Structure 1
Amino acid sequence: MPDRNLTTLVGSRICHDLISPLGAIGNGLELLQMSGRADSPEVALIADSLENATARIRFFRVAYGDAKPDQQISGHEIASALRSGLGNTRLVVEFDAVDMERQTARLLFLALQCLETAMPYGGTITIDLSGQSLSLVGRADRFAREEALWENLTATAGSYELRPAQVQFALLRSLCDDEKRTLTVAQDDTTISIAL
């Protein structure tokens, strides 16, 4: 089994296994609310943390989970995962989510995470999906991008040593190679564009 397939299976397994205990925490919070103790700052902190963790796992399930050829994902599910997964960032995502192949959605979410890495100060990401072509344009007044990391995304032989928070770059490139997609990146002072 190729390493990349194993990687997506591991991603799916982790997301699946984490959702269950988070659901149990949610049930516990409901019991606290029914008992009349829901107004405390401690319960509010737990509820907020639970909501954030659940949102990120929904995002990660699409980005790192298994995606079979011709498997579909609804536009509603994509929009919901984007809203929840990027809700605590300073990013505004402009995208009319539509039903699409899960493999395409996975590439979209990984590319979004790449842009998120370079846009910690906020900005706008515009997504365009035309048939099998996908483009993302990140616009910001200020970026925090590591040039070597971005060059490694499209270079034929890169030597950049990834950190765990940058794994999306390696996975995006690997999946594009597997799916015979051309991956291009263009940058200037105010934009970063990723086209698949």
Structure 2
Amino acid sequence: MTTAIDLDKLDLAALLCSRVCHDVISPVGAIVNGLEVLEDEDDPSMKAFALDLIAKSARQASARLQFARLAFGAAGSAGAQIDTGDAENVARGFIQDDRTTLEWSVPRTLSPKNKVKLLLNLLLVAVSTIPRGGRIAVAATGEGETGGFRLRSEGSHSRIPPHLVDLLAGHASEGGSLDAHAIQPHYTGLLARATGYAIHLSLDGDGVVIAVEQA
């Protein structure tokens, strides 16, 4: 049995902040560890390893913060538009690694801020359906500002996580509470409803399809 999520603005802000901190704490911690190795080690090979770790982790932290700025932040004044080319750049920096690839087929244009934020959050939803990595293909459907999106994720053990559909719809299991992990799909659902879109998830062979269209 599910119940409608009743979350006040302060709790929503706190949980979103926790989500962002969760994403950046790992690379920032790796940077600190690398700096400690530089201070304590005289071995040139260890120093080279530490410098490589610091550089890689700094790039990762930067990519995650840039993504969070567009996906969760204000990203401009009220009513602002966002370049989907910028969204593609931050999405590639955040998602693409040695386990996951991103195929982007969304035309470059200026789109309403919340619609672009919805797209970026949908990419995070798609990532959650392929826990061992794989491929995510995203394309625009329809035309103009009323057009939607279609995302397809493929990977080993692809699945629709438990409670994901309910969270997107603004519901949680009875007595369930939201945490920094669950807040992201809930926030995605809020964006969808605010922009007049409906989200549909379905299994498709060895993948998961996320279809987004005007409600």
Contact 1:138 1:192 in 2 (8 A): yes
The equivalent residue for 1:78 is 87
Matched, 1:152 2:166: yes
Q: Which one of 34, 40, 44 corresponds to residue 48 of structure 2?
A: 40
In structure 1, C-alpha distance between the alignment counterparts of 2:191 and 2:138, rounded to whole Å: 19
Contact conserved, 2:99 with 2:134, CA < 8 A, in 1? yes
166 and 59 in structure 1: CA distance in 2 versus 1, 3 angstrom threshold: same
Deviations 1:16-43 (A, max 9, x none): xx9xxx9xx9xxx9xxxxxxx9x73222
Whether the 8 Å contact between 1:90 and 1:120 is mirrored in structure 2 is no
Matches within 5 A, 1:63-74: 63-66=71-74, 70-74=79-83
1:60 to 56, 62, 68: 68
Letter in 1 for 2:95: L
Within-5 A mapping of 1:1-196: 3=9, 7=13, 40-66=48-74, 70-88=79-97, 90-97=99-106, 98-99=108-109, 100-129=111-140, 130=142, 131=144, 132=146, 133-143=148-158, 145-147=160-162, 149-155=163-169, 157-159=171-173, 161-196=177-212
Percent identity between matched residues is: 23
Amino acid at match of 2:49: P
Q: 5+ unaligned residues in a row in structure 2: which ranges?
A: 1-7, 36-43
Cα shift at 1:54? 0.2
How far does residue 101 in structure 1 lie from its aligned partner after superposition? 2.4
Which structure's relative contact order is higher, taking Cα pairs within 8 Å and 6+ residues apart?
Answer: 2
Alignment TM-score, normalising by the size of structure 1: 0.72
Paired residue secondary structure (1:183): strand
User: Which letter does structure 1 place at the counterpart of 2:172?
Assistant: G
Classify the secondary structure of the residue corresponding to 1:40.
helix
User: Following the alignment from structure 1 to structure 2, what is the Cα–Cα distance between the partners of residues 168 and 124?
Assistant: 21
Per mean C-alpha deviation after superposition, the further-off stretch among 85-94 and 152-161 is 152-161
**Structural RMSD (CA):** 3.3
CA distances 1:73-114 after superposition (whole Å, capped 9, x unpaired): 223312210111112362221113412222111111111111
> Which one-letter code corresponds to 2:60 in the other structure?
N
Q: Is the 8 A contact 1:154 1:185 kept in 2?
A: no
**Offset at 1:137?**
1.5
Q: 1:142 to 1:179 in 2, by over 3 A?
A: same
